[in-house]
Amino acid sequence: MNVLSVRDLNVKINESHILHGVTFEVPTHSVTALLGRNGVGKSTTLKAIMGLYPSSGLIELNGQSIAGKLTYKIAQDGIAYVPEDREIFASLTVKENLSLATRDENDLERQELVHALFPELTTRAAQRAGTLSGGQQQMVAIARALVNQNEIILIDEPTKGLAPKLVTEVADALGRVAGATTMLLVEQNLPLVKRIAQHVIVMDQGRVVFQGGPENLHDPEWVHAMLGVSGGHK
């Protein structure tokens, strides 16, 4: 069973054709990694799914079309989005950031999950989010996605720009929620992808060029050919 189906997704921005017929599926209760070099359209794909970019093609959530819907309705349907640059509300406190994102104040289970995953956010509840470190801001961004019972979470490069220790913390948190939720994860950090992803999609120049299991990530030649980086281990 697939939570998300994307078929023949095309995005044009200012006459530039960014996505060319992108097609893939995200199975339920799995982590699907969306990989590729910089600028191949991974973030654009997530934004198009969220309705943040105009697009053509078919996007289905649990078999229901969400293409053309307004962004807030797509989110209400159960798609959470953690953007690449976190986009936390800097002038609001940590508590206000989470409160704003919470759709059901009575869902104490989700709130407890967030507090258990990120206890630091509880102690910093009254602090303005803009004064947090990069890692703490990332925790707020991920926590905002986890405070609701969503069908799928789209996460764009959650470890980008973080210190190694914080990368481990964020990776641990994602690892803990990975089994309980469905994720479409854009990430350059291959060790993290190998650790939590069950499916891999590779994009190149706005197209999907590979879909399959994560086994190939252990093959350095495949990794170099597909992603242009070293990192595989035979």
Partner 1 sequence: MDTFLLIGITGIGLGALYFLVAAGLSLIYGLMGVLNFAHGSFLTVGAFVGLWFSSQVMHVSNTWTFIGAMVLGGLAAGLFALLVERIVISRLYERHIDQALVTVGIALVVGAVLAGWFGSDLRLLPTPSWFINTVSIGSAHIPVDRFLYIGVALILLLANTILLRFSRIGLVIRAGVENRQMVAALGINVRLAFSTVFFIGGFAAGVGGVLVSAYSNGVSPLIAGSYLIYGFIVVVIGGMGSVPGSFLAAMIIGIIKQYANYYSPGLGDFVVVFLLAGVLLLRPQGLLGKVKA
User: Which H/E stretch holds residue 5?
Assistant: strand 2-13
Instruction: Tell me if 86 sits within 8 A of 143, measured CB to CB.
Output: no
Query: Half-sphere exposure (CA, 13 Å, Cβ side) for 173?
Result: 26
For partner 1, which stretch binds (CB under 8 A), given 19-27, 81-89, 160-168, 210-218? Answer: 81-89
- Is residue 75 close enough to count as binding partner 1 by CB under 8 A? yes
Q: How far is the CB of 73 from partner 1 (least distance, A)?
A: 8
CB of 130 to partner 1, least distance (A): 9
Closest to partner 1 by CB, 149 or 211: 149
Binding mask 89-128 for partner 1 (x = CB under 8 A): xxxx---x--xxx-x-------------------------
Q: Mark residues 35-64: x for contact with partner 1 by CB under 8 A, - for none.
A: ---------------x-x------------
Secondary structure (DSSP) of 175-221: HHHHTTS-EEEE-S-HHHHHHH-SEEEEEETTEEEEEE-GGGGG-HH
Q: Which residues bind to partner 1, rule: CB under 8 A?
A: 50, 52, 70-72, 75-76, 81, 83, 87, 89-92, 96, 99-101, 103, 144, 148
